[in-house]
Structure 1
Amino acid sequence: MKSLYEQSLFTKEKLAEIFNHSADIHIKSIPVRHTPKGELIIIFCRPIVNIKLVHSLVIPYLMDEERESEKLYNYIQSDYSLKAKLTKEELINQVFCGKLAVISNFRERIYYYDVKEEPNRQPEESVIEVSVTGPKDGFIENIDTNLGLVRKRLKTPSFVNEEFVIGRRSNTRVALLYIKDVMNEQVINDVREKLNNIDVDILQSRDELEELLVDNKFSLLPLTNFSGRPDFVVESLNQGRFSIIIDGAPTVIIAPINLSFLVKTAEDSNISFYYSSVERMIRLLSLFLTVFLPGFYTALVMHNVGQLPLPFIATITIAKMGLPFSTLLEMITIFIMFELFKEAGARLPKGIGQTVAVIGGLIIGDAAIRAGITSPTLLIVVGITAIAGFTLVNASLTGNVFFLRIAVLLISYAFGIFGFILSLICVFIHLSTLKSFGMPFLTLARQRKWSEELKMFITLPFSLQKKRNLSYGVKDKTRKNSDND
């Protein structure tokens, strides 16, 4: 491909043709004495540069007639990057990345001033991971700021940051983070190869990149985790995982993971290990309940009612008298109502959404019972199922278990307790076959040890956290931080 020099496109008119559809691109001629042709051409994208710096410092410096040209260009070369030859695509990319390009035709050079100032916000507490006793700084939509939040917590040369540019049109910056003397080389080589092979027009979200990286794209359980808190990312890196930061995304990908890690929160390391252990076991129990409780209840009521205590049978029978729908249809109807209220609460403004979800749910739930559409017992079962789902910390997991829940419900309705047990076995077989970047999702450790199995359910005291998780094949097995899953 010919360079712009070879195509004689370094004139103001030709450059205007290159950027003719971009009204936010400014192309100006700057007169400068002591030069053979007497002018420089500058190009910048106004919305993403510090316009005050451009007009108050850069342009006056370039126009200073008292400076000798050699001194001027030596100053630029010593402080800013220089490229002798440039293609059209490369120039466009540099300008849209926030660089101010200074073109000197008589020297056949182009110089860059880094005057980027993209719109962004200051680090603040993560909305999806509320901190009670932990740090309050959270990731934002700027990759450099996010890298700084991680770097200030990892002041070591073994912390590696590899940068990629993905997207032929978006040119999205992506940073792969890991600790070199801890991370499994096979895993990181696999991730690096996948990132290099991605070929898309635009990359704009974390979910898109996750889908491009994982092997099992149709798994109902997420094979990566995400976080908006840098302290949790640092803990994960120290455990032998890697993280991926995407420019424009306020959350960071964390992998590889297992089932235990999906129910771990960033706050677990900032509270008592007693309380943290209880909370983790509650989340595991909640995961089981939100998937299997509706199917178990339906199987007992529809096919195996004789297994229930007589008082409970009487209660269910009285509650179902006069109801027009079957238990399955009741269950699905109430689940759809819960999803409607949850969606309304999420999409409406914060204050209004919470009010609509709570008051609307109470009124419609009470009205449904009074109208004889559903029974109180079934409403309690669905309510427990929904609340158990809300305890899960991963939003992707919370959404995806809905489909597992419905599948278990349908099989249990068709075959009773036998169908429930069959669905239970199928779910655990599916979990045992899942792998997150080659690491087992359900099996905790390659070398079966009780100490490793125990870490799945409880948080050990800091003084006993001496080894990293063996399931990730880490290089350095000695713990250096307070994570343990």
Structure 2
Amino acid sequence: MISKWFFRSKKKHKKKEIIHEMGFQEGNHKLQQDLDQMLHQIKKDLGNSPDVIVRTFQIARGSQNQVAAVYMEGLTDKEKINDFVARSLLIDPVDDALPQSVDSQNIFDFIKTRALTVGDVKVQSDWNSMMYSILSGDIIVLVNGFNSCITGNLRGGEQRSISEPESEINIRGPKDSFTESIGTNISLIRRRMKSPNLWLESMRIGNISQTEVAIMYLKGIAEDQLVEEMRRRLKDIRIDAILESGYIEELVQDQTYTPFPTVYNSERPDVVAGNLLEGRIAVLVDGTPNTLILPTTFSQFFKAAEDYYQRFDFTVFMRIIRYLSFFIVILLPSIYIAVTAYHHEMVPTPLVINLLAQREGVPFPVVIEALLMEIAFEIMREAGTRMPRAVGQAVSIVGAVVLGQAAVQAGVVTAMMVIIVSLTGIASFTMPGFTLTTTARLIRFPMMLAASTLGFYGIIIAVILLVAHMTSLRSFGIPYLSPFAPFGLKHQKDTIWRSPFKSAITRPRLFDSNQMSSLQKDKDPLSDQNDKTSEGMRTS
């Protein structure tokens, strides 16, 4: 009993510390009527920061008729403040537009209805809500003698303009991509889907960061149980800050300890719009151009936006190439190790003689040789990514050519191993989903170790374990390998094969209508509560 009371007291004390770190007051506190006291408290809570701008105005004669505008420099648009707020509040005291009986109520109503020319105007009486609006870039208008404030949406400041996507390149199709502004990202999606059924829900996550997170879905197409589960998982997040959508991805996914990504992310508005039409949910996070798409299946990572902008037969051919490239990345080095070390009889004799002749001067076993080359290639790939763009690609290409040729001439590796590693590296860039590329790069190392231990038998055992693991994965209750496993012929219209638009008269389903999946809630990493399993969800 004592330990339980101590635990609750500690949690309550921790909550007070978090609220104090945010600068907010615990509970719902009303605003004060005295303007000077409110301005003093605002400056005190914000640490007397120099970027807190306070502008006072005299609306009518008398010291009691003062108005103050408060905003954060750099988060608001200065030109809009001067045009829509400052000029509006600079009212002549003898202006006939003012009420005859001037008091705080009349001045407040006059400013709200007639003085301010801001489109989005709200009235707030809670202190924490007002502080959040200031820190979000809104302008706050306070009237002396009135315990409420007027907030106007004048968010601005320096923002990155809409540009071409950097990680999802396409030849045909739209060239716009998401930015770090969640408002801009929402507008890019709404431009493509002018439907009243496109619903948007917003919430704030993060005790300190108070990051705005929004979910978008098509009402009537997305499952209600799926939307409710997404909403519940987001509300259950307890964390200090959300700085990127990767935080949300890790906290809402079904299984954390897996190399396979169970949440798809994209920076293209057309990709998000296409997935919304299939009944999925988009999660947008303020401050990042990467939008999450849930639920996710394995085949989704092999689909490019350009697949739907060109002929279906060429799309099918390119998807086969992508699947083949995935198997090349994870299996080609392992197959070479198994053939060279164990199964000479499976290749033509002239090729075996040539391979053995190349290995006469190499001092390392074939598995050590492969590991050295793969690690060297990963180092050059990472260096090319982190280096400045002006020299990154040149250094990586020159380094690969020079190091590969020098290693062959020095007798450290064979020429065939350089070919295998190069082909593996090139094949890894063919998959549209970059997160799956990272998974393939990780998987090939244990595959190589399995091949060096038991040859093809080790590769087969590793593949069986890999497929069994993928079969056990779920993304919001949906099998990760669907519609391959469980297999449904009528659901194959947009997997490897893409049906022509004339024959695709029905929307592809994520799973069978008779399938039941239990959605399991991930354990909150910042709490000591036990895992809870949500009720089963029927999906169609």
Distance 1:291 1:5, change over 3 A: same
Question: Residue type of the partner of 2:87?
Answer: P
1:50 equivalenced with 2:77 (yes/no): yes
User: Could you tell me how far 1:80 is from its partner in structure 2?
Assistant: 5.2
Distance 1:46 1:94 in 2: 13
Structure 1 stretch 451-460 or stretch 210-219: which is displaced more?
451-460
Question: Residue type of the partner of 2:56?
Answer: S
Which of 241, 245, 265 is matched with 1:206 structurally? Answer: 245
Structure 1 stretch 2-11 or stretch 77-86: which is displaced more?
2-11
Q: Residues 447 and 470 of structure 1 are in contact (CA less than 8 Å); yes or no, is this contact kept in structure 2?
A: no
Question: Residue type of the partner of 1:213?
Answer: V
Matched residue, 1:123: 162
User: Could you tell me how far 1:60 is from its partner in structure 2?
Assistant: 3.0
Matched residue, 2:347: 308
Q: Deviations over 1:53-100 (max 9, x none)?
A: 22344123223122516675335434654445222x322211011111
Q: Structure 2: which 5+ runs fail to align? A: 1-26, 114-118, 515-540
Q: Residues 33 and 144 of structure 2 are in contact (CA less than 8 Å); yes or no, is this contact kept in structure 1?
A: no
SS in 1 for 2:492: helix
Q: Residues 42 and 101 of structure 1 are in contact (CA less than 8 Å); yes or no, is this contact kept in structure 2?
A: yes
Matched residue, 1:426: 465
Matched residue, 1:68: 98
Matched residue, 2:526: none
Matched residue, 1:106: 145
Q: Residues 84 and 108 of structure 1 are in contact (CA less than 8 Å); yes or no, is this contact kept in structure 2?
A: no
Structure 1 stretch 363-372 or stretch 60-69: which is displaced more?
60-69
Distance 1:100 1:35, change over 3 A: farther
Q: Residues 470 and 481 of structure 2 are in contact (CA less than 8 Å); yes or no, is this contact kept in structure 1?
A: yes
Matched residue, 1:171: 210
Q: Deviations over 1:161-209 (max 9, x none)?
A: 1111111211111110111111122222111100111121110112111
Distance 1:12 1:417, change over 3 A: closer
Question: Residue type of the partner of 1:294?
Answer: P
Q: Residues 80 and 113 of structure 1 are in contact (CA less than 8 Å); yes or no, is this contact kept in structure 2?
A: yes
Matched residue, 2:200: 161
Question: Residue type of the partner of 2:369?
Answer: E
Matched residue, 2:491: 452
Matched residue, 2:386: 347
User: Could you tell me how far 1:454 is from its partner in structure 2?
Assistant: 5.6
Q: Residues 31 and 148 of structure 2 are in contact (CA less than 8 Å); yes or no, is this contact kept in structure 1?
A: no
SS in 1 for 2:261: coil
Distance 1:52 1:456 in 2: 51
User: Could you tell me how far 1:232 is from its partner in structure 2?
Assistant: 1.2
Q: Residues 206 and 253 of structure 1 are in contact (CA less than 8 Å); yes or no, is this contact kept in structure 2?
A: yes
Question: Residue type of the partner of 2:459?
Answer: F
SS in 1 for 2:455: helix
Q: Residues 80 and 111 of structure 1 are in contact (CA less than 8 Å); yes or no, is this contact kept in structure 2?
A: no
Q: Deviations over 1:189-235 (max 9, x none)?
A: 11110011112111011211100110111211111111111111111
Give the share of equivalent positions with the same residue, in percent. Answer: 26
Matched residue, 2:129: 90
Query: CA RMSD, aligned part only?
Result: 2.1
Q: Residues 184 and 472 of structure 1 are in contact (CA less than 8 Å); yes or no, is this contact kept in structure 2?
A: no
Matched residue, 2:523: none
Structure 1 stretch 170-179 or stretch 449-458: which is displaced more?
449-458
Which of 106, 112, 117 is matched with 1:77 structurally? Answer: 112
Matched residue, 2:412: 373
1:38 equivalenced with 2:38 (yes/no): no
SS in 2 for 1:296: helix
Distance 1:12 1:204 in 2: 30
Q: Residues 43 and 49 of structure 2 are in contact (CA less than 8 Å); yes or no, is this contact kept in structure 1?
A: no
After the TM superposition, which segments of 4 or more aligned residues of structure 1 sit over 4 Å from their partners? 6-9, 69-72, 445-448
Matched residue, 1:233: 272
Q: Residues 133 and 267 of structure 1 are in contact (CA less than 8 Å); yes or no, is this contact kept in structure 2?
A: yes
Distance 1:169 1:456 in 2: 42
User: Could you tell me how far 1:348 is from its partner in structure 2?
Assistant: 1.6
User: Could you tell me how far 1:429 is from its partner in structure 2?
Assistant: 0.9
Distance 1:16 1:176, change over 3 A: same
User: Could you tell me how far 1:156 is from its partner in structure 2?
Assistant: 1.0
Q: Residues 12 and 28 of structure 1 are in contact (CA less than 8 Å); yes or no, is this contact kept in structure 2?
A: no
User: Could you tell me how far 1:155 is from its partner in structure 2?
Assistant: 1.0
Distance 1:419 1:445, change over 3 A: closer
1:439 equivalenced with 2:478 (yes/no): yes
Q: Deviations over 1:232-251 (max 9, x none)?
A: 11111101111111111112
Distance 1:107 1:126, change over 3 A: same
Matched residue, 2:310: 271
Matched residue, 1:148: 187
Distance 2:155 2:375 in 1: 48
User: Could you tell me how far 1:152 is from its partner in structure 2?
Assistant: 1.2
SS in 1 for 2:496: coil
Distance 2:131 2:108 in 1: 23
Q: Deviations over 1:137-167 (max 9, x none)?
A: 2111111111111111111111111111111
Distance 1:35 1:432, change over 3 A: farther
Question: Residue type of the partner of 2:176?
Answer: D
SS in 1 for 2:175: coil
Matched residue, 1:24: 51
Q: Structure 1: which 5+ runs fail to align? A: 476-485
Q: Deviations over 1:420-458 (max 9, x none)?
A: 110111111111111111111113068743232363212
Q: Residues 50 and 116 of structure 1 are in contact (CA less than 8 Å); yes or no, is this contact kept in structure 2?
A: yes
Matched residue, 2:453: 414
Distance 2:492 2:45 in 1: 61
SS in 1 for 2:200: strand
User: Could you tell me how far 1:468 is from its partner in structure 2?
Assistant: 2.2
Distance 1:383 1:84 in 2: 61
User: Could you tell me how far 1:15 is from its partner in structure 2?
Assistant: 2.9
Distance 1:315 1:143, change over 3 A: same
Q: Residues 302 and 416 of structure 1 are in contact (CA less than 8 Å); yes or no, is this contact kept in structure 2?
A: yes
User: Could you tell me how far 1:312 is from its partner in structure 2?
Assistant: 1.3
Matched residue, 1:389: 428
1:292 equivalenced with 2:331 (yes/no): yes
Distance 2:163 2:237 in 1: 32
- How high is the TM-score relative to the length of structure 1? 0.92
Q: Residues 264 and 280 of structure 1 are in contact (CA less than 8 Å); yes or no, is this contact kept in structure 2?
A: yes
- How high is the TM-score relative to the length of structure 2? 0.83
Q: Residues 32 and 38 of structure 2 are in contact (CA less than 8 Å); yes or no, is this contact kept in structure 1?
A: no
Q: Residues 36 and 106 of structure 1 are in contact (CA less than 8 Å); yes or no, is this contact kept in structure 2?
A: no
Matched residue, 1:402: 441
Question: Residue type of the partner of 1:86?
Answer: D
Distance 1:106 1:433 in 2: 63
Matched residue, 1:471: 510
Question: Residue type of the partner of 2:47?
Answer: N
Distance 1:68 1:99 in 2: 26
Distance 1:238 1:289, change over 3 A: same
Q: Residues 240 and 474 of structure 1 are in contact (CA less than 8 Å); yes or no, is this contact kept in structure 2?
A: no
Q: Residues 121 and 140 of structure 1 are in contact (CA less than 8 Å); yes or no, is this contact kept in structure 2?
A: yes
Matched residue, 2:13: none
Q: Residues 184 and 474 of structure 1 are in contact (CA less than 8 Å); yes or no, is this contact kept in structure 2?
A: no
User: Could you tell me how far 1:398 is from its partner in structure 2?
Assistant: 1.2
Distance 1:192 1:13, change over 3 A: closer
